[in-house]
Amino acid sequence: MQTPSTERFEISITTAAGHVSAAVDAPLAFIPLTSLVPLLRSLGEEAQRLEEARAAAGGRLRSCTKGCAACCRMLVPLSPPEAFRLMDHVRRWPVEQQEHLAVRLEATKSALVAHGIWQRLLDVAESEQPPNDEELAPLNEAYYSLRIPCPFLEENTCSVYEERPSACRELLVTSPPVNCNDMVSGTVEALPIPLRVGTILGLVWGELTASVPRMIPLPLVADWVERHQSEQAQKWQGTVLLTSALDKVRRYLNQVA
């Protein structure tokens, strides 16, 4: 008799936008936490589609379109699993493309160092305390005031679109596009986010590694991943990962509710 290699999970969650369900086969083998990222993104995007449909029924249509990169000047946070997965994606690029990105990352670092922001971002990435939105607000505003384009932006198009951070995926604007010229003016109206995937991944990472639910500012991603390669090598049984993730999803939804 053949030993099963996976365990079936029937996922059923209820968000503010509606009900989301899925059937997932979790491997019994040991896998990295990055393997969870696509599944949680899928759940988050399904919940977003429900939220978008609900808004459209009330006359609020999404105004975000391809080529609109106004939000690509904001400070974007990543959970450690997203950071590792993003850089794995980049390492599959042709060498010339990787070198081009390295130049842009270095230019971004130089600009942030010159304005005294790089070290503040580094302190956030390596902090032993959980992220605090109120404390991070002044840093977010200082970063945005520089209007530095995301280093992964190429001619107003995301060069890592398939692996873009959850924070980027979750920002859906319904106000006129012209309002996005100033993302902190208070005139930008965005859809509610029913499931913050980056937050959940950060919580899972913190639990499994016995550390804080760390969030990494996007401009530091290559630097941070290089310094934390040994952590990326860790693996857990697939069923353990999924159980932890679903627990964090439900805890998050209960807290929001």
Q: Going by C-beta distance under 8 Å and a sequence separation of 6 or more, which residues neighbour residue 127?
A: 212, 214
- The beta strand positions in the chain, using DSSP E, are 6-15, 18-27, 30-31, 77-78, 153-154, 157-158, 216-217, 236-237
Instruction: Find the helix or strand (DSSP H, E) in which 207 lies.
Output: helix 197-209
Predicted local confidence at residue 1, as pLDDT:
47
Cβ atoms within 10 Å of 181's Cβ, excluding its own: 10
Largest Cα–Cα separation, the chain: 65
Q: Classify the phi-psi angles of 18: left when phi > 0, otherwise alpha if psi is within -120 to 50, otherwise beta.
A: left
User: Whole-angstrom Cα distance, residue 51 to residue 99?
Assistant: 39
- Residue 147, sorted as left (phi over 0), alpha (psi -120 to 50) or beta, turns out to be left
How many Å apart are CA 142 and CA 81, to the nearest integer?
A: 26
The residue ranges of every structural domain in the chain are: 31-38+60-233
Exposed, middle or buried, 92 (CB in 10 Å: 0-12/13-18/19+)?
exposed
pLDDT of residue 257: 77
- Interacting residues of 239 by C-beta distance below 8 A, sequence separation 6+: 7, 9, 26, 27, 28
In three-state secondary structure terms, 188 is: coil
Distance CA 257, CA 241 (A): 24
> Residue 55 has what pLDDT?
93
From the first residue on, what is the mean pLDDT of each consecutive set of 10 residues in the chain (257 residues)? 79 93 94 95 95 93 84 94 97 97 97 97 92 87 94 93 94 90 85 94 94 93 95 94 95 90
Task: Look at residue 3 in the predicted model and tell me its pLDDT.
Answer: 61
